[in-house]
Amino acid sequence: MKFSKLSQLFLVSTIGLLVATLLTSCEITTIDYVFVASSQGSGTGSPGQIETYDADSQTGALRTGTLAVNSGGSNPVAMAVTSDYQNLYVANQGNSSLVHFAIASNGVLTQKDTVTFNATPISLAVNSKGTYLYVVGSPPKPGPGVLGVYSLGSDGAIGAPFAGAIPAIMLPDFPNDTIIPTGVTVLANNSTVSGNAVFVTAYDQSAYNPGGTTTSTANPGWVFGFTVGSGSALTPATGSPYMAGVKPTAIIADPTDRFVYVTDYASNELIGYTIQDGSTLDFMVNGPFRTGNEPQALVVDPRGLYIYVANALDSSVSAYNITLATGAPSTVVNVVGSAVNSTDTTPVAILVDAAVGRFVYTVNYQGNSISGFKLNADSGSLAPTQATPYPTGFQPTALVSVPHGNHALQTVTP
């Protein structure tokens, strides 16, 4: 009789667990695939990897998706996707490679082609038409930073580098200074502002070199602007380069192509610019704006209403409203919970999900993880997603997302 009762209890427990599992499975609906670049191992030359995560439409929680793939080199540091979300590009510092992956509808990545960049790649971006890939890198020897432009085929294949002359990332009054690019962004081809432009953040290592010597009296932080002409020919924008604090680390334009934002890692600031005549930058009034300590990355939500900054030293995310008339950011105060949006250790990249713009994710370099937040569309405030943070491979450095299914992408019309 005792055995019979235990058997019944075991049977009931098993059935309950099975039902709960089935219900949980039914409730989870993937709305985005999130791809994360990380180093697979800690040894020199260890292969990098791209991991895939499924984002739940209701909670924003992440779960491991398809099997990780080799990044095509070692030490991947940057990724970008085409606007149709069918192609992914990865920059590997270990072998200076730029690798193209096709993205299947189920999130599976297939490596297609690879080119070798003529410098150490740091950041990359794709124009909205998916016809050009822009890459910036540190110089192979002391001197100007490197900007590369590659044509992209209709299938996303990386073609030949731009055959014409590309302006150097250098200071005209200090041509011998060593310039280290840190980020690149491209205005949309259907810009509401006349023209097209590419902007690159960089710092002058000859003027800013903590722990080392300096040989230059130049301002250390800069934004270099270029207008895009026929055949993707680049011409320095009027007034370029523009001062950008001490050590700018990342750059992004808002969806309307009216404003550009830059994080200054050394000064703990967010610098805002308005775009004039399609490519000329002017400082925003009342800026720069305070961030947390050592801001490393930033993102503007797809509707152009909010800015989120990942602060590496604080392990936090700063949230801001955008005043649409001027572009000026103002700090968002969370109605519920702490105004400090804590992440795992050392967030170095950040995104807002591409499908509905309701979730924010950071990759945390020293935490070996992703931190997730649910975005309040009415206020811009953040709340932790279910079960955050989520484990990743060793030292993740970059992440991107692509929508899964037929979702109305969130955009803003000024």
CA-based nearest residue to 254, from 412, 88, 382, 61 = 412
CB count, 10 Å around CB of 195?
16
Q: What are the backbone angles phi and psi of residue 22, rounded to the nearest 5°?
A: -65, -40
Instruction: Determine the pLDDT at residue 254.
Output: 94
Retrieve residue 280's tokens.
């000329």
**CB 289, CB 269: distance < 8 Å:** yes
Provide the sign of the torsion angle of the four alpha carbons 189, 190, 194, 199, taken in this order: negative
Mean pLDDT of 382-400: 96
CA terminus-to-terminus distance, the chain: 74
pLDDT tens digits, 165-213: 889 999 999 999 999 999 999 997 654 455 589 999 999 999 999 999 9
Count up the domains in the chain and report the number. 1
**Do the Cβ atoms of 180 and 203 come closer than 8 Å?**
yes
User: Does pLDDT of 18 surpass 90?
Assistant: no
For the chain, the average pLDDT equals 89
Q: Using DSSP, state whether 231 is helix, strand or coil.
A: helix
Beta-bridged to residue 184, according to DSSP, are: 200
Q: Where is pLDDT greater, at 225 or 195?
A: 225
Handedness of CA 63, 300, 263, 334 (dihedral sign): negative
Residue 5 domain-assigned (yes or no) = no
| Domain presence at residue 218 | yes
Q: For position 387, what pLDDT does the model report?
A: 95
Amino acid at 238: T
pLDDT at 290 over 70: yes
Residue 318 lies in a domain: yes
Task: Tell me which amino acid residue 368 is.
Answer: N
In the predicted model, what is the mean pLDDT of residues 333-349?
A: 85
**Residue 296 belongs to what domain range?**
30-403
Long-range contacts of the stretch 284-288 (C-beta < 8 A, 24+): 284/259, 284/326, 284/327, 284/328, 285/326, 285/328, 286/328, 287/328, 288/245, 288/264
pLDDT of residue 140: 86
DSSP state of 130: S
Phi and psi for 389 in degrees, rounded to 5? -85, 165
The pTM assigned to this predicted structure is 0.90
User: Mean per-residue pLDDT for 95-106?
Assistant: 96
Q: How far is CA 67 from the centre of its chain?
A: 22
Query: Does the residue 240 lie in any domain?
Result: yes
Q: Is residue 412 part of a domain?
A: no
Between these two residues, 70 and 337, which has the higher pLDDT value? Answer: 70
28 or 5, greater pLDDT: 28
Predicted pLDDT at 23: 33
Mean pLDDT of 369-394: 96
pLDDT at 101 exceeding the cut of 50:
yes
Helix (H) or strand (E) holding 10: helix 2-27
For position 102, which CATH number holds?
2.130.10.10
Contact 250, 269 (CB under 8 A): no
pLDDT (0 to 100) of residue 4: 45
Least confident stretch, 8-22, 33-47, 238-252, 335-349 = 8-22
Q: Are 273 and 260 in contact (CB under 8 A)?
A: yes
Note whether residue 12 is domain-resident.
no
Give residue-wise pLDDT tens across range 356-370. Answer: 999 999 999 999 999
Which SS3 state, helix, strand or coil, does residue 315 take? Answer: coil
Which contiguous run of DSSP H or E holds residue 302? none
Q: What are phi and psi of 12, to 5 degrees?
A: -60, -45
With H, G, I as helix, E, B as strand and everything else as coil, classify residue 232: helix
Q: Answer for the pair 257, 273: CB distance below 8 angstroms, yes or no.
A: no
Query: Residue 44 is inside which H or E element, if any?
Result: none
DSSP string, 67-121: PPEEEEEESEEEEEE-TTS-EEEEEETTTTEEEEEEE-TTS-EEEEEEEE-SSEE
Q: 111 forms bridges with which residues in the sheet?
A: 101
Check residue 45 and give its pLDDT: 62
100 occurs within a structural domain: yes
**pLDDT for position 41:** 64
The verdict on residue 84 lying in a domain is: yes
pLDDT at 183: 98
